[in-house]
Amino acid sequence: MTNLPALWPILMLAASAVVMNVAWYWHLKQPSWGMLAAIGAAWGIALLEYCLAVPANRIGIAHYSLAELKTIQEVLSLAAFVLVAWALFGQTPGPSQLLGFALIAGGAFMIFKSPFG
């Protein structure tokens, strides 16, 4: 059976990763905007991301170490980047990017399995 309380932080971090990637890149679809408008829009979107990430980390610390929480956030951020790059820009990762992501996944495995103590 799934440990539902431990799943909530992951779901919230996944949502925050999508929102943050939108904040980082969506303004690129608006080239006519000035820099201040782009920054303001990104900050407005990022506020929602913080409303998800802060409680996710506060809840998550009861189930995960700080290193595990950061690793979850980074892996989800990369996955969200791929989704946002595809949805907003029609870009998909090539072989080199996929290999790089696989190496990062290997690093995440090392954080969670702690094979070296």
Domain layout of the chain by residue ranges: 4-113
Q: pLDDT digits over 38-51, tens only? A: 999 999 999 999 99
pLDDT value, residue 108: 87
Cα dist from 51 to 5, 76, 81, 98, whole Å:
18, 17, 19, 30
Residues of the chain whose pLDDT is less than 50?
none
Distance of CA 15 to the CA centre of its chain: 8
pLDDT value, residue 2: 64
pLDDT value, residue 16: 98
pLDDT value, residue 7: 96
Reported pTM:
0.86
pLDDT value, residue 78: 93
pLDDT value, residue 114: 76
Angle CA 42–52–110, to nearest 5: 105
pLDDT value, residue 99: 94
